[in-house]
Structure 1
Amino acid sequence: MFPQAAAIVMSLAVVIATPAEATPRLVPAADREVVFTVDGTATYGTLHVPAHRAGQRLRAALLLPGSGPTDRDGNQPRTSPNTLAQVADVLDSDRVATLRFDKYGTGRTGLGAYHDHPEKLDYPAFVRQAKAAYESLRDQPETDPHALMVVGHSEGAMTALLLGGTVHPRPPGLALLQPQAIRMLDLVALQLHAQIAEATRQGQFTPEQQRAIDAAIDAAVTALREHRPVDPTNLPPAIAKLFEAFQGASGRFVISDDAVYPPDSAAALRPWTTVLLTCGTNDAQVPCATTDALTAALHRAHVGGPGRVPLPGVDHLLHDADHPNTPAPAVLDALHRFAGR
């Protein structure tokens, strides 16, 4: 036998003799409870790990909920759209692990250290909680600490933007889904003006009443920012009650949230950070036009695409008319474009 032939035969023998145990074991997809502590509060969440090879480090994303008492799955006491749970399912198909958690006032976490003094809870506390969640995700044995992303919905998108410029390691990707992209009270005023305009169109108010109400709304926003009592004159009862709540136990949160102008935060992002910003054409809570300034700021920060992606017919909860309970196809496509980069 020629020496070359013998070498080939020996190589084949080595391959044939390799034990089956050398092939990495496939670990099935699974959820597990994760607990981390921030500011004296135990925070509870769900880590979803897609199917993977044993020992493999996966890309991972922190999922951040919208405003109000929105829990780890994206649900509130009277509504269960499962927004974040569904986003986790979408990212699973791209082999991205996810962590979603019960923020203050929701789920197993509750108010935690703020239980006896809920009026002291402010927006920075939620940002610190999200930062602690990011660090918990970073330290999980299945995740790649250099391939972490942050995906936020609504107010959670604003928080994601803040984390993107401050956490370590910096996330290579941010998905801002229907983001709060202007100051909170400006967004509230915009929503209220739209509601009053529609009510006027339906004959509930006269044009003169509409003008008076609109002026009262703007005056109420100014009063809150100047730490003055809101004058309820000319405000419909429901709107007066809303501004009353903004001056009550939630006052500290409202003012601290309103202090953030999201476009200013874009400058802290690292150039070429992958950023997806979605806006639904049927989103009455966050109209696409409210993301114009943030989109321009992201461009000035030289971040990477996909950039702003308008979602035709999609509402604030990522649904369209044909998909009232699941993410619309346009949402799925945008997320896959983002996660597949």
Structure 2
Amino acid sequence: MYSHLAAAVLSLAAVTATPAEATPGLVPAADREVVFTVDGTATYGTLHVPAHRAGQRLRAAVLLPGSGPTDRDGNQPPHASQNTLAQVADALDSDRVATLRFDKYGTGRTGLGAYRDHPEALDYPAFVRQATAAYEWLRDQPETDPHALMVVGHSEGAMTALLLGGTVHPRPTGLALLQPQAIRLLDLVALQLHAQTAEATRQGQLTPEQQHAIDAAIDAAVTALREHRPVDTTDLPPAVAQLFEAFQGPNARFVLSDDAVYPPATAAALRPGTRVLLTCGTNDAQVPCATTDSLTAALHRAHAGGPGRVPLPGVDHLLHDADHPDTPAPAVLHALHRFAQR
């Protein structure tokens, strides 16, 4: 599944230090624009190094974004600017954890890179290799402790973090799986769509008979995709039909390679004792807590360490609650702090 990784090459373009009084032997916090190369693609990112003593090796974490064209900060410009990963980096700074976040394929300065002329060849394993290269690059930095590395992933990025946890060297000391994709992709899509049709029926927009027909068409569409057959969209609402049409053609390779991963099965490769935080928000319509049950059980069988699964009351998929619509909810920050403690 994984190909040979190209060597990661550091290019430090800029250093921006946060204001701090000059203290002998203290290096102020700084963000650095960096670039590393994987599979012929220059991948751009931000390395954040908290304030530290000169020569000190810090704990460090790679931050992995969710699905779609989500950039290093957790945004999908111009439509969505939640700064999810940038805010996670800020939270980890308070525990003196250095972080690397990067523009994955199709986003930011990285763009499609080597896949520019054949985007249909881009599959999920390519994103895993890119994340692995980021981990290896972070491991080799003079400010980081190679034996105290972590991976923090949000949504689809959490599934990628779980894969890295069982494959990279040295193995990470901890994984933070924030609102993770914890079941197969197309099963999760079907679950979300069934919930939407049920709500439409509850509101009187659909009859029970229409709901049944749409639900059956959704399940048939998932089966057709997995069997590499054209999807019959006749009984699907236009928006749902467009979604399944988008899963075919140039996107089919990525969708099916992502769907091939069953996250609970990957937990067995974790080193026993690996610290794992798995969060689920009670207001998360995209990844309901119940979807993490099998993964939680698999982590237990793999003898993963705590904190384990942490339900987040009132928290949505973007880590917000009603009182904090633009910043991580206090419950999220508390969970991250527990995870980041030594």
2: distance between equivalents of 1:153 and 1:303?
A: 19
Aligned residue number for residue 8 of structure 1: none
1:76 and 2:76 matched: yes
Aligned residue number for residue 316 of structure 2: 315
Q: Number of aligned residue pairs: give it.
A: 319
Counterpart of 2:185, as a letter, is: M
Give the deviation of 1:203 after TM superposition.
1.5
Check the 8 A contact 1:24/1:54 in 2, yes or no. Answer: no
SS at match of 2:333: helix
TM-score normalised by L of structure 1: 0.93
RMSD over aligned CA atoms reads 0.8
Aligned residue number for residue 222 of structure 2: 221
Aligned residue number for residue 248 of structure 1: 249
Aligned residue number for residue 340 of structure 1: 341
2: distance between equivalents of 1:113 and 1:69?
A: 16
CA deviations on 1:99-130 (whole Å, 9 max, x unpaired) are 00000000000000000100000000000000
SS at match of 1:204: coil
Counterpart of 1:92, as a letter, is: D
Counterpart of 1:322, as a letter, is: D
1: distance between equivalents of 2:194 and 2:318?
A: 21
Counterpart of 1:237, as a letter, is: P
1: distance between equivalents of 2:283 and 2:211?
A: 24
1:17-32 alignment runs, 5 A limit:
25-32=25-32
Greater helix fraction, Structure 1 or Structure 2: 1
Aligned residue number for residue 64 of structure 1: 64
SS at match of 2:117: coil
1:1-341 alignment runs, 5 A limit:
25-77=25-77, 78-341=79-342
Check the 8 A contact 1:60/1:97 in 2, yes or no. Answer: yes
Give the deviation of 1:24 after TM superposition.
6.1
Give the deviation of 1:269 after TM superposition.
0.1
CA deviations on 1:253-272 (whole Å, 9 max, x unpaired) are 00000000000000000000
CA deviations on 1:133-184 (whole Å, 9 max, x unpaired) are 0001111110000000000000000000000000000001000000000000
SS at match of 1:250: helix
SS at match of 2:250: coil
Counterpart of 1:265, as a letter, is: T
1: distance between equivalents of 2:252 and 2:76?
A: 21
1: distance between equivalents of 2:167 and 2:144?
A: 20
SS at match of 2:271: coil
Aligned residue number for residue 15 of structure 1: none
Counterpart of 1:312, as a letter, is: P
Counterpart of 2:80, as a letter, is: T
SS at match of 1:141: coil
CA deviations on 1:306-332 (whole Å, 9 max, x unpaired) are 000000000000000000000000000
1: distance between equivalents of 2:178 and 2:235?
A: 35
1: distance between equivalents of 2:303 and 2:239?
A: 43
Structure 1: gaps of 5 or more residues: 1-22
Give the deviation of 1:243 after TM superposition.
0.4
SS at match of 2:249: coil
CA deviations on 1:39-77 (whole Å, 9 max, x unpaired) are 000000000000000000000000000000000000002
Check the 8 A contact 1:165/1:268 in 2, yes or no. Answer: yes
Counterpart of 1:148, as a letter, is: L
SS at match of 1:249: helix
Give the fraction of aligned pairs with identical amino acids, expressed as a percent: 90
Check the 8 A contact 1:274/1:306 in 2, yes or no. Answer: yes
Check the 8 A contact 1:90/1:332 in 2, yes or no. Answer: yes
Counterpart of 1:36, as a letter, is: F
Aligned residue number for residue 6 of structure 1: none
Structure 2: gaps of 5 or more residues: 1-22
